[in-house]
Amino acid sequence: MEQKPHTFLKLRYCLTTSQHYLLSSKKATIRSSLFHLTIKIAACSTKCLAEPETPQLQPNFSPNNSVQVLKKWGCNDDDISKIFSRRPSLRKINVVQLQSKLNLLSGLGINSSDLFKMINCRPRFLSCSLNHCFEERLDYFTKFFGSKTVFCKAIVRNPSLLTYDFHHSIKPAIALYEQMGLSTKDLIPMLISRPKLIPCSSLNDQKIDYINRSGVSKTSKMYKYVVTLIAISRTETIQEKISNFQKFGFLEDEILSLFGSIHFLLYLNLEAVLKPRIVLARKIQDMGLSPEMKGQAATLKALRMKEERFLKVYVNCHPQEVADELMEVFRNAKCAKRLAVDFKRIVRRGFPF
């Protein structure tokens, strides 16, 4: 069969067109692939630049130093700086141990804002073991304080509640006050306000005698203050305070009665507060002026006053010349020092004096 020439021309045209189409499509595909690759690289670069450099924000991040642990727990840079300034050794603390302790605190409801208060109060707190009898301690104090929330507040005020020896310090101290007639309701504010109540409490026959001679009954609101203050004070300290008051004509029974009425007298600074007011009271009596600090009630009232109020009542109420004379007596008594007091060695006696 003889084929016509135009048939070959049509076939060549189709082949040429197909090859051109295939080459064009391949080039378009390559261009498209390069275009998408360029966009992908650019997007990846942009994404890498936009990612934060701090690894703490990554969900699966594992901290490898104490700074990262504290940041992950919620502390900011300022908090961490204050914590390290109070306890520099925390920079090198074991990360696993630190995380474990912070997890225990989180379970109690303590957050990052409370941590600096605790470290400021007890710098060595995070360096101590917290897991000793932890569950038993938690159950005991939760029942004692009535709720975990109150217990948490007590820990922030006195972090050592988690570090004191549970069986040899905490339980015996609380039992001691319960034997003296203090209820749980009375003990809770004392534990919160006086951090040294547990490690420093002790009672002997002489201290119990002081409590009884103070004349405060167990039903009085002052009873818990008198008992706890005498219990945490050294016997030598109490005797020294009594001796100081005796120098101004007070009898021992009167002094103990004053302690029962004004428990802060054990804290009172003899040279700065008591002595100037007693000297001024004697001067007012010698001059025959009024008002006078006569009797226990007036003396107690005068000792309770702030200095500005005291001077207004007993000095500035008189004519100017008399007031100037009384003020000079008061200042001299306040500034006068006992013999060789400048050369007296300062001895640290610990809490509370």
pLDDT, tens only, 249-261: 678 888 888 788 7
Task: Write the DSSP string, 113-133.
Answer: HHHHHHHHH-TTGGGS---TT
DSSP of 43-64: HHHHHHHHS-S-GGGSTT----
pLDDT at residue 323 is higher than 50: yes
What pLDDT does 352 receive?
Answer: 39
Residue 333 has pLDDT above 60, yes or no: yes
Distance CA 58, CA 52 (A): 9
pLDDT band at 272 (very low <50, low <70, confident <90, very high): confident
Chain center to CA of 122: 7
What SS3 state is found at 37? helix
Instruction: Give the C-alpha separation, 201 to 172, whole Å.
Output: 10
CA distance linking residue 298 with residue 317, whole number of Å? 17
Give the Cα separation of 180 and 195 in Å (integer).
19
Instruction: Return the domain boundaries, the chain.
Output: 63-123, 269-346
The position carrying tokens 């919620």 is 74
Given pLDDT bands bounded at 50, 70 and 90, which one contains residue 11?
Answer: very low
- What pLDDT sits at residue 205? 94
Q: pTM, whole model, 2 decimals?
A: 0.64
C-alpha–C-alpha distance, residues 299 and 306, integer Å: 13
Phi, psi of 319 (to 5 degrees): -55, 160
- Token pair 């420093």 is at which residue? 200
- pLDDT of 21 over the 60 cut: no
CA 47/CA 41 separation, integer angstroms? 10
Residue 337: its pLDDT value, please? Answer: 52
What mean pLDDT is predicted for residues 119-145? 90
Burial class (CB in 10 A: 0-12, 13-18, 19+), 325: middle
Asked if 199 and 193 touch (Cβ cutoff 8 Å), the reply is no
The amino acid that residue 214 corresponds to is S
Summarised one tens digit per residue, pLDDT across range 29-41 is 444 443 443 434 3
Contact of 189 with 225, CB cutoff 8 Å: no
